[in-house]
Amino acid sequence: MTRFFAIALVAALGSLAGCQLPLLKRPPTPAAALTREELEAEPVPAGERYFLLLFGSESVPKRAVLTHTWGTVVRVPSAGGPVEAHTISWMPRTLVIRPFHLDVEPGVNLDLAATMRLVTGLGERVTLYGPYEIPARVYRRVVVQKAFLEGGTVGYQGFDLIGEAGRRGNGSNCIHAVTDVDPELGRGGYLLSGNGSRAGDFIRDRMTRRGIVGDPTPANDWLLPALGLDPAVLRRR
């Protein structure tokens, strides 16, 4: 069986299973185990706000080795002062993506500025979804997932539904590093649309249907310069 056929078969099985692949082992992130009650146990200071920015990037023409998907959550203190941002941008430590490599390799989580420098330096076109205002519980879940990734329990594998990551649950690609934050987002469904910005479409649509995010509003765009983002290099969705 060729790797291409194996990947196509896994994608087909994922679609038949309602975009879930229950036989695969997923990384044991504590973020997915948190209940809504646990996430809401800590009161939110009056006036404090939380936001999500989701990103997808890809080369033109699109090549799998030049695609990425990542997300940033932001806490805006009620008393003013600098915003607090946490980014999940999971990459191989070498920063070289090998889509069909079936072994887990060391991973690294980049911050937002480093991610933008990397993908724009590679000539990738960046799509931004948001900024969306989100509940505090979503922000807190992402912060837990970020700490888990940076703790060294998991590595990176570009196609993590098969190979070592699929067998052992010890690796993740950039997309699942984001979607594993919430077990209801599932695994495998993005294969029906692709990676890069198409994976961003999938995640945004699933979160919209579940009521986690609504329509982005221009009133939230003040966050872009606050995070060091140049709107001129961003496509908006």
Written as tens digits, the pLDDT of the chain (237 aa) is 334 334 444 443 443 333 444 457 889 999 989 998 999 998 998 999 999 999 999 999 988 889 999 999 999 998 777 899 999 999 999 999 998 889 999 999 999 999 999 999 999 999 999 999 999 999 999 999 999 999 999 999 998 888 999 999 999 999 999 999 887 776 655 554 467 778 888 888 888 887 788 887 889 999 999 999 999 999 987
Residue 194: give the domain boundaries: 29-225
Contacts of 204 (CB under 8 A, 6+ apart): 54, 129, 213, 237
Whether residue 59 lies inside any domain: the answer is yes
- The single-letter DSSP state of residue 163 is H
Whether residue 237 lies inside any domain: the answer is no
Radius of gyration over every alpha carbon of the chain, rounded to an integer in angstroms:
17
Two tokens, residue 224: 């872009």
Whether residue 94 lies inside any domain: the answer is yes
Whether residue 16 lies inside any domain: the answer is no
Helices (H), the chain: 3-16, 30-33, 36-39, 112-121, 136-150, 163-168, 174-179, 197-209, 223-226
Contacts of 91 (CB under 8 A, 6+ apart): 68, 97, 107, 108, 109, 110, 118, 156, 174
List phi, psi (to 5°) of 155: -115, -160
Nearest C-alpha neighbor of 32 from the set 149, 198, 190, 206 = 149
Domains identified in the chain, total number: 1
Cα 189 from chain centroid (whole Å): 14
Whether residue 143 lies inside any domain: the answer is yes
The pTM of this model reads 0.87
